[in-house]
Amino acid sequence: AQSVTQPDIHITVSEGASLELRCNYSYGATPYLFWYVQSPGQGLQLLLKYFSGDTLVQGIKGFEAEFKRSQSSFNLRKPSVHWSDAAEYFCAVGARDTGTASKLTFGTGTRLQVTL
């Protein structure tokens, strides 16, 4: 069974500083990997996804993530954080054999606070 660990429950960064949110997964093969963002009171917005190919994935809002097979990680990065990035971020993994269509397994989320 797949699982996802987001070790940081809460992170605070200053506006303009760089950001890295950690995500580690457990899965027997190469999974499908996703990052979603949820603003307060809102639904889930897909930031980026990795299926195959280039291990550095570009997403929306200036985010990127790098798939590192050797470390079973898919960390999310942004070079310069904006106050509007304050939200909760979820990493998710989908099984490659059945496709993500049937199920995503989510991490517990990291809440990002941005100070001005």
Partner 1 sequence: EAQVTQNPRYLITVTGKKLTVTCSQNMNHEYMSWYRQDPGLGLRQIYYSMNVEVTDKGDVPEGYKVSRKEKRNFPLILESPSPNQTSLYFCASSTRQGGENTIYFGEGSWLTVV
Residue numbers at the binding site for partner 1 (CB under 8 A): 4, 9, 32, 34, 36, 42-44, 46, 49, 51, 90, 92, 94, 99-109
User: 3-class secondary structure for the chain?
Assistant: CCEEECCCCEEEEECCCCEEECCEEECCCCCEEEEEEECCCCCCEEEEEECCCCCEEECHHHCEEEEEHHHCEEEEEECCCCHHHCEEEEEEEECCCCCCCCCEEECCCEEEEEEC
User: Which of 15/106 has CB closer to partner 1?
Assistant: 106
Give least dist CB 16 to partner 1, A.
Answer: 29
User: Which of 36/78 has CB closer to partner 1?
Assistant: 36
Give least dist CB 91 to partner 1, A.
Answer: 9
